[in-house]
Amino acid sequence: MPVLFIGHGSPLNAITDNPFRRAWAALGAALPRPRAILCVSAHWETRGVYVTATSTPETIHDFYGFPKALFDVHYAAPGSAALARRVAELLAPQRVRLDAGRGLDHGAWSVLMPMYPQADIPVVQLSLDTTQSAAWHRALARQLLPLRDEGVLIVGSGNIVHNLPLYDFHDATPFDWAIRFTERVKQQLTAQDLPALTDWGSQDTDAQLAVPTAEHYLPLLYTSALRREGDTLQFLTDVVQGSMGMTSVLWSAAPPALGQPI
């Protein structure tokens, strides 16, 4: 299976007809159908490692100030206790706690709903352990590699650039530093420079502005760590909106025909 990182941006993208939602829908139609999906979302931070293990995960509306229509969304994809146990097995000896009560946050359902509107593919989420370093996350992610051969689509959901305090909902003009940092990361991804991708925080002011906190960037490390020799890299929805980077990345041995990124 391919590996996918999606710059998810606003949860409104789940219900708004815009280029991002249309691109995600086209992507879901073009990719081989997965047996299940493992999502690493920016919006599940924990102390320790957790994985969802409920058969019927709820739709978590982990935001405020949005229209009622967004709070009415119910993405009824099933969970998979079997996949949760498989993730825990692959990540050993790291202790992984199976969470039978946790549902799907908007980092997961807001991008999966356009991709798989039938909600008929099991979805499991893996948490981000906030006590660990970026290098630790990258190494942990690599242990998930066998899932690619088991029909599991691994999706990272975050943003390469995510500085919400500087985001202006009335002006999407991209900041120069946001453009520079996005281009740098794209070059590092193309060159497979995982050390540079992992050590972003020590680089310069652009990096500090683009990634003031790690949670939206870490899903990119998880997915980039799963690249295999022979994979083709494709950039999707390659747009910067103000202080928000909407670039998405696909790694695939057989790249689908998706046209030019928006």
* Section 217-223 average pLDDT: 98
Indicate the average pLDDT of the chain: 95
Task: Identify how many contiguous H helices and E strands the chain contains and give both numbers.
Answer: 9, 10
pTM of the model: 0.95
Residue pair 238/185 in contact by the 8 Å Cβ criterion: no
DSSP state of 174: P
In this prediction, residue 261 carries a pLDDT of: 63
Q: Which residues, including other chains, have CB under 8 Å from residue 170's CB and lie 6 or more apart?
A: none
Give pLDDT tens digits for 103-137: 999 999 999 999 999 999 999 999 999 999 999 99
The pLDDT of residue 202? 72
Is the residue at 260 inside a domain?
A: no
Count of domains forming the chain: 1
Please indicate, yes or no, if residue 163 is contained in any of the structural domains.
Answer: yes
Which pLDDT score, from 0 to 100, does residue 65 have? 86
Residue 261 covered by a domain? no
Question: For residue 68, is it within any domain?
Answer: yes
DSSP for 3-48 reads EEEEE---GGGGTS-SHHHHHHHHHHHHSPPPSEEEEEEEEEEESS
Provide the greatest CA pair distance for the chain: 48
Backbone angles phi, psi at 200, to 5 degrees: -60, -35
pLDDT (tens digit per residue) in 20-44:
999 999 999 999 999 999 999 999 9
The answer to whether residue 80 sits within a structural domain is yes
pLDDT band at 96 (very low <50, low <70, confident <90, very high): very high
Q: Which domain holds residue 39?
A: 3-252
Residue 205, domain member (yes or no): yes
User: What's the confidence (pLDDT) of residue 260?
Assistant: 60
pLDDT digits (tens, 9 = 90+) for 47-93: 999 999 999 999 999 988 889 999 999 999 999 999 999 999 999 99
Question: Is 142 a domain residue?
Answer: yes
CATH number at residue 181: 3.40.830.10
Instruction: State the Cα angle at 44 between 104 and 24, rounded to 5°.
Output: 55
Does the residue 145 lie in any domain? Answer: yes
* 262 band by pLDDT with thresholds 50, 70 and 90: low
Residue 23, Cβ neighbours under 10 Å: how many? 22
Question: Angle 164-192-107 (CA atoms, 0-180°, nearest 5)?
Answer: 30
Among candidate residues 241, 230, 239, 234, the one with its CA nearest the CA of residue 255: 234
155 forms beta bridges with: 4, 39
User: How high is the pLDDT of residue 257?
Assistant: 75
For residue 255, what pLDDT is reported? 80
Q: Is 49 helix (H, G, I), strand (E, B) or coil?
A: strand
